[in-house]
């Protein structure tokens, strides 16, 4: 994605140049710079987080009831599991039995 140097609007490509639809500014495309740009392709994969050593990783704890063992404390972390325009999901890991659940599971 490229932004206009004149007005800041998002630019589009047209026959080897970047063109601003808002103000008409144009500039040549730079293949090396474009190759380094981050794209959204392939970002559907979710990262797997190993929480087996949650205490050693410094995860925060909160007071929440574990349905498996009845403990009232769990580690928690946030993770983006849906598209970027949706809020993150909070996950819990019981400090006693290591049972795992999402905030919306209860």
**From the annotation, which residues make up the binding site for Zn(2+)?**
4, 7, 20, 23, 66, 69, 94, 97
Q: Is 63 a catalytic residue?
A: no
* Contact between 23 and 4 (Cβ < 8 Å): yes
Distances (CA, A) of 71 to 4, 24, 67: 55, 63, 8
Cβ 74 vs Cβ 93: under 8 Å: yes
State the catalytic residue, choosing from 86, 88, 98, 104.
Answer: 86
For 34, phi then psi, to 5°, come to: -70, -35
14 an active-site residue?
A: no
Indicate which residue of 50, 63, 85, 104 is catalytic: 85
- Annotated binding site: which residue ranges? 4, 7, 20, 23, 66, 69, 94, 97
Query: Where in the sequence numbering do the catalytic residues fall?
Result: 85-86
């Amino acid at each position: 994605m490229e932004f206009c140097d004149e007005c800041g609007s998002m630019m589009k490509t047209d026959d080897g140049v970047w063109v601003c639809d808002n103000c008409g500014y144009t500039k040549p495309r730079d293949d090396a710079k474009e190759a380094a740009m981050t794209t959204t392709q392939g970002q559907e994969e979710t990262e797997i987080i190993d929480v087996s050593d949650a205490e050693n990783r410094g995860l925060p704890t909160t007071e929440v009831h574990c349905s498996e063992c009845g403990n009232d404390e769990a580690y928690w972390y946030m993770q983006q599991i849906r598209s970027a325009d949706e809020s993150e999901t909070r996950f819990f890991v019981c400090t006693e039995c290591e049972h795992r659940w999402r905030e919306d599971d209860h």
